[in-house]
């Protein structure tokens, strides 16, 4: 469940453990944008995951070096690098999970939406290839703006006739990690044993941490909760500013991406009670896509969980985020329909 931080280190114990009757099944994971700031450490972490039998690394620049490097690690996953668009089909073929951290990151002063013009086209072309070469794969969308790139992916898959709403995920795990870390710092709880659901979307005020549901519970003041909420919403910007022009979160994002992909793989393998927050097609609110807790299973989304009881402050935050989130979703849909 979301409370347990999965071990990413391989162990003989994990390899032998069986889910049901068989040993750990074969699983192919593809990383698109594997040579980037996120892609490289994410590829490393996926190479360390004993649930992965084949690791396919794709980027338009720099793939051979990353693939050769990661491939020397003596873990289960067999690594192959794919370095050009002509090889994208081979990179995707047979994938169970496709993770997409391809695209440009923010610089100081930019919003995630400022990345739309470049990243929308990248995501669209990668998703067109996914529809063709691995239409049944689970897709983990990291490329920003997630609030728009997930709707773009859905439209591309719909057009291709392959859309399965249970298999498309916007990765919001980093928001959850931040909420947990910042809350634990303030409440004095153990970070790895702290849980905070984060709902809504993945940009600014659309990121809505539900500290009223945090565990372990605490009696933090309203001011503290407001400050924690703001810091979680501005977490990405905090890193962008600290990196001062050299990009956005890569290491914490790689970890977050590895946690989420691991949860998807466990779900596929039939491990029960795998729950993570993610931005998915949803009827939790009137918006067509929304991040909330999701139960993962053999077909991807098994159940989109409701929001649970909200504080007055969270209810207000929920209403306030809807116009921006709706606009970002509609912008993605419009782009995909017109291009
Ligand atoms: P980066 O520039 O370091 O790496 C991006 C990589 O994508 C590069 O290696 C580039 O060659 C590759 N790429 C570009 N076009 C491609 C294509 N058509 N096919 C395959 N690969 C392609 O950027 P980064 O720091 O790794 O960030 C990547 C994206 O992830 C950005 O859009 C960023 O905003 C986003 N991001 C999302 C989250 C989140 O929480 N969801 C967190 C951090 C970053
Ligand atoms: C993040 O939350 O760190 C990412 O979305 C990158 C960014 O632009 O903030």
- Residues lining ligand 2, CB < 6 A? 105-106, 112, 144, 174, 235-236, 239-240, 248-249
Do the strands 300-304 and 289-297 form a parallel or antiparallel pair, or are they unpaired? antiparallel
Per residue in 137-183, pLDDT (tens digit) is 999 999 999 999 999 999 999 999 999 999 999 999 999 999 999 99
> Could you identify the atom of ligand 2 that is nearest to the CA of residue 110?
8
Per residue in 54-101, pLDDT (tens digit) is 999 999 999 999 999 999 999 999 999 999 999 999 999 999 999 999
Per residue in 247-299, pLDDT (tens digit) is 999 999 999 999 999 999 999 999 999 999 999 999 999 999 999 999 999 99
> Could you identify the atom of ligand 1 that is nearest to the CA of residue 247?
25
Mutate to test the pocket of ligand 1, among 32, 81, 101, 129 (most ligand atoms within 8 A of CB): 101
> Could you identify the atom of ligand 1 that is nearest to the CA of residue 35?
9
Atom 1 of ligand 2, nearest CA residue: 236
Answer yes or no: is 36 a known binding residue: yes
Its sign, for the CA torsion 115, 121, 126, 132, is: positive
Q: Is 13 a catalytic residue?
A: no
Answer yes or no: is 39 a known binding residue: yes
Per residue in 9-20, pLDDT (tens digit) is 444 444 444 444
Atom 7 of ligand 2, nearest CA residue: 236
Give the number of whichever ligand sits closest to the CA of residue 206: 2
CB-ligand 1 contact for 119 (6 Å cutoff): yes
- Residue pair 316/294 in contact by the 8 Å Cβ criterion: no
User: Which one, of 103, 61, 55, lies nearest residue 84 by Cα?
Assistant: 61
Q: How many CA atoms lie within 13 A of 225 on its CB side?
A: 19
Angle between helix 312-338 and helix 146-160 axes, rounded to 10 deg: 50
Rounded Cα distance, 13 and 218, in Å: 36
- Residue pair 79/11 in contact by the 8 Å Cβ criterion: no
CB-ligand 1 contact for 102 (6 Å cutoff): yes
Rounded Cα distance, 77 and 268, in Å: 17
The answer for residues whose C-beta is within 8 angstroms of residue 212's C-beta and 6 or more apart is 225, 309, 310, 311, 313, 314
Give the DSSP H/E element, type plus range, for residue 264.
Answer: helix 251-268
Q: For residue 8, what pLDDT is reported?
A: 45
- Residue pair 299/166 in contact by the 8 Å Cβ criterion: yes
Question: How many other CB atoms sit within 10 Å of the CB of residue 73?
Answer: 12
């Amino acid at each position: 469940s979301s409370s347990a931080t999965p071990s990413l280190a391989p162990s003989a114990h994990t390899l032998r453990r069986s889910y049901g009757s068989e040993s750990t099944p074969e699983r192919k994971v593809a990383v698109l944008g594997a040579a980037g700031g996120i892609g490289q450490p994410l590829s490393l972490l996926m190479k360390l995951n004993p649930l992965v039998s084949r690791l396919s690394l794709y980027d338009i620049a720099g793939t051979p070096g990353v693939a050769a490097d990661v491939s020397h690690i003596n873990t289960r996953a067999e690594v192959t690098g794919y370095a050009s668009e002509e090889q994208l089909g081979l990179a995707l073929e047979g994938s169970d999970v496709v993770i997409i951290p391809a695209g440009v990151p923010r610089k100081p002063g930019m919003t995630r939406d400022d990345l739309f013009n470049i990243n929308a086209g990248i995501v669209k072309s990668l998703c067109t290839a996914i529809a063709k070469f691995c239409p049944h794969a689970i897709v983990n969308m990291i490329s920003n703006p997630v609030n728009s790139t997930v709707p773009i992916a859905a439209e591309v898959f719909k057009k291709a006739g392959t859309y399965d709403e249970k298999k498309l995920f916007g990765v919001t795990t980093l928001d959850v990690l931040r909420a947990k870390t910042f809350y634990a710092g303030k409440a004095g709880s153990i970070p790895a044993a702290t849980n905070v659901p984060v709902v809504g979307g993945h940009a600014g005020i659309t990121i809505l941490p539900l500290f009223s549901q945090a565990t372990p519970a605490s009696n933090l003041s309203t001011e503290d909760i407001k400050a924690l909420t703001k810091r979680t919403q501005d977490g990405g910007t905090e890193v962008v500013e600290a990196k001062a022009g050299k990009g956005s979160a890569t290491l914490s994002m790689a970890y977050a991406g590895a946690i989420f992909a691991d949860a998807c793989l466990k779900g596929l393998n039939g491990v029960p009670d795998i729950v993570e927050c993610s931005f998915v097609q949803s009827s939790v609110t009137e918006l067509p896509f929304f991040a909330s807790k999701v139960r993962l299973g053999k077909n991807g989304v098994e159940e989109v969980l409701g929001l649970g009881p909200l504080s007055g402050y969270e209810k207000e935050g929920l209403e306030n985020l809807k116009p921006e989130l709706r606009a970002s979703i509609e912008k993605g849909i419009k782009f995909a329909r017109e291009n």
